[in-house]
Each structure stands twice: as C-alpha cells, then as structure tokens.
Amino acid sequence: MGFLQKDKQKEDDSTDYIAATNTDVNSPLRQIAATKKKRYGAAVDGEFLFKEKDYADLIARECSIVTPNGELKWNATEPQPGKFTFESADAIANFCQKNNIALHGHTLFWHMGNPDWLPYPPTLEMIQRHVTGVMGHYRNSPVLKSWDIANEIIADNENETDDPTYGLRRGVKPELIRDLFKFAASVDPTKKFYLNDYGIEGATWRSSRFLKMVEYLKNSGAKIDGAGIQSHLWFSTAYGFDATGFSSVLKRLNDLGVKPVITELDIIIDTPLPDSIQKLDQMVADGYKRFLDICFAADVDTVITWGITDRHTWIRHPDWMPKKTYRDNPSVWQFLRPLPFDENLQPKLARNAIAQAFMQAP
Ligand code: XIL
C-alpha cells in the first residue's frame, strides 16, 4: 500500500492482514479494505468520541485511519499567536494508538477554522511558526502518518480569483504554497504530504487549476506525495461528479506520481428528493458504489468518509446544509443521510455498498 515504508507497514497493519483472510460483507470495513491492501477511515469528532462509547466502539471497529474533524485546525492548535495547545488532538492520537488506527493531520493551512488574529493568507513567518509548532509536536508520533499541508487553496469559482493560471484564492501566491511545502519538509519529511481540495471530482474549472498547482509544486521540487480529493458529493447539483472527467483527474495524478486519496467523502442527495427514506438510502448507496468503483479502478488505496454516522454529520448544521432543498424547507432535514451508519449506528445500504466496492476492487 505504498503509503507506509515497507517494514513499518507490516507492523502497523499486521492485525488487519491476519484477520483479513476470512472476511464477508459484514466484517469490519478496515478488514475488508485490508484484503485489498487498502484503508477505510472516517473523520472523528473528539467531543463525541470521549462521551459516546457506542460511537467510539464503532470507529475502533471499522476504521484503520481517522481524521480529526477540527482538533488540528489552526484555531484549535494555535489559538493565540505562538501559544500552542494539543490537548484535544492528542486525545484523538492516543485513541488511535490504543486502537491501531493511523491519524491523518488536517490541516496546516486553510482559509477557515482560523483564530481571529490570523490574516488570510498568513505571512510566511506566521506559517513557519505554526508549522514548526504543530508538525514538530507530532514528529515522533507513532500514529500520525500524513498531513494536509494545505487545504482548499483554489478559489470557489473563477470570479473569485485574480490568478487565471492556478485559480488561487485572492492574496494567495503559488510561491507561498511552495514555501509552505518546502518548510514543512524541513520540519518533518517522514510524513506523507497532501494538497487537499473539493470540487475536483470531474473535469471542472477547479480540477484543472488544482492539477496545475500539483504540477507546479512537483516542478518546484516541493515534497508532495498525495492529492486529497475531498469528495463531498452533492448529487443532482453542481457538486456531482462526471465519471469520465473524474477518471482522467485520477489518471493525471497517478501519472504525476502524486497519489490520489479520498479524504472527506459523503453523499448528499439534493433536489429532487425521492419520496421515501428507503429510496434515498438506495440513491446514496448507489452513489458510493459508482464513485468508489471509479476510485478503485485507478488504484486509490485510502478512502476516508467525513464522519461515520448520520448522528454526527457536518451537513446537518445550518451553515453547511444545501440551501434550497434543506435550509428553505427544514421539514426535510431527515433526508440528510450522507454516511454509512444511521443515527442509531445501524449499518445502512451505503455501508454495504462501500464494503462491496472494496470486495470487488481489483
Ligand atoms: C468542517 C467540520 O466538519 C465542521 O464541523 C466545521 O464547523 C467546519 O469544517 N472541508 C474540510 C473540512 O476540509 O475541514 C470541513 O470540516 C468540511 C469541508
């Protein structure tokens, strides 16, 4: 699985590989994934992880990798200039260590999740202090294996950038991102480095700019190991994916030697809504299967969903739910069922679809 150095890999995944010999669709997803030398994981929320035992048990059973929902964002780790706090992120790291789960570091640079004192983009000096503090803290972590070095640097659309080539958010220069990646490599080159973004699951304005930025980083000699493809998929609106375009994005990344990784997958069904939850769950499941089949055909080996249960999905928050369908019509909020397990932590059709996709992967 390319991600971990050879002998390390054995030690990290030995439990899964032993158990993986005899799996069926109801086996833990981490074991089913391991039969194909792949990983399944989810974003976790520390607030609930240490309050809800059933939720923690489910994460431990199903996941071989987790991403902290917010605990490694700038506002959590450096709330005051130069004052670092790792209490909540370390609690997740300890949970991972106890349960033999890898931790994905999300994220060192973003335009959101920042303390009020921080400008966007931050100065290179602020970035260096932050990267030194945060990456330095996890340099010797036995579980943290990868970092989203930068998140969502591409503008939301072409009207919001002054940079036709790379389409970066206003004020962000490609050189700043290059310097961030280079500085990160000087702090801890032992981890995998990703550039992470959304809306690149097809031949879109964003995906073409994202690929240009990946090429630029490679050509400037920066260390970039992976491309995080968030995959918050809104079916039947602008966020849906086109299979052909997405396959060519994956191929281009593989050709560049930058591993595509699915980092934040969830599936939201937008208008028109079906007339029953059962039909909706089937649509979500079909979405997972179609999407993952394309990923696995391109040799993707890590799939992380943004949460594991509809009980704790970011998309049920009014700030994030799709506007027309849900915010304007709150009576349909129960159709927000983007994840593999329901509110009661019961497996949904989507969970079955993910298991099938792993089992059928080449
Ligand atoms: C989201 C969290 O899930 C929310 O709880 C938080 O309020 C906002 O951020 N893309 C990302 C993630 O890279 O960090 C976002 O997470 C979801 C979109």
**Residue 3 counted as domain residue:** no
Phi-psi region of 231 (alpha: psi -120 to 50; beta: other; left: phi over 0): left
Q: Rounded to the nearest whole angstrom, what is the distance from the C-alpha of residue 21 to the centroid of ligand 1? A: 36
Question: CA-to-CA distance for 64 and 10, rounded, in angstroms?
Answer: 14
Q: Rounded to the nearest whole angstrom, what is the distance from the C-alpha of residue 292 to the centroid of ligand 1? A: 22
Supply the pLDDT for residue 21: 67
**Residue 91 counted as domain residue:** yes
Q: Is 70 in the pocket of ligand 1 (CB under 6 A)?
A: yes
- Please provide residue 194's backbone torsions phi and psi, each rounded to the nearest 5 degrees: -120, 150
**Residue 258 counted as domain residue:** yes
Give how many domains the chain has, as a whole number.
Answer: 1
**Residue 1 counted as domain residue:** no
Structure tokens at 89: 């992120």
**Residue 94 counted as domain residue:** yes
Which residue range is the domain that position 346 belongs to?
8-359
Q: Give the tens place of pLDDT for each residue, 151-194.
A: 999 999 999 999 999 999 999 999 999 999 999 999 999 999 99
**Residue 127 counted as domain residue:** yes
Q: Is 313 in the pocket of ligand 1 (CB under 6 A)?
A: no
Mean pLDDT estimate for the chain = 93
Label residue 352 by pLDDT band (50, 70, 90). very high
Q: Give the tens place of pLDDT for each residue, 111-153.
A: 999 999 999 999 999 999 999 999 999 999 999 999 999 999 9
Q: Is 142 in the pocket of ligand 1 (CB under 6 A)?
A: no
Q: Is 69 in the pocket of ligand 1 (CB under 6 A)?
A: yes
**Residue 199 counted as domain residue:** yes
Supply the pLDDT for residue 7: 38
Q: Is 264 in the pocket of ligand 1 (CB under 6 A)?
A: yes
Supply the pLDDT for residue 18: 52
Ligand 1, atom nearest to 307 Cα = 3
Q: Is 263 in the pocket of ligand 1 (CB under 6 A)?
A: no
**Residue 341 counted as domain residue:** yes
Q: Rounded to the nearest whole angstrom, what is the distance from the C-alpha of residue 20 to the centroid of ligand 1? A: 32
Buried b / exposed e over 22-60, threshold 16 CB at 10 Å, is: ebeeebbbbbbbbbbbbbbbbbbbbeebeebeebbebbb
Q: Is 314 in the pocket of ligand 1 (CB under 6 A)?
A: yes
The helix (run of H) or strand (run of E) holding residue 34 is: helix 29-34
Ligand 1, atom nearest to 232 Cα = 18
The CATH number of the domain holding residue 21 is 3.20.20.80
Q: Give the tens place of pLDDT for each residue, 6-22.
A: 334 444 454 565 556 68
Going by alpha carbons, the residue nearest to atom 5 of ligand 1 is 314
Cα–Cα distance list, 218 to 213, 229, 253, 336 (Å):
9, 17, 11, 39
Phi-psi region of 263 (alpha: psi -120 to 50; beta: other; left: phi over 0): alpha
Q: What is the mean pLDDT of residues 65-80?
A: 98
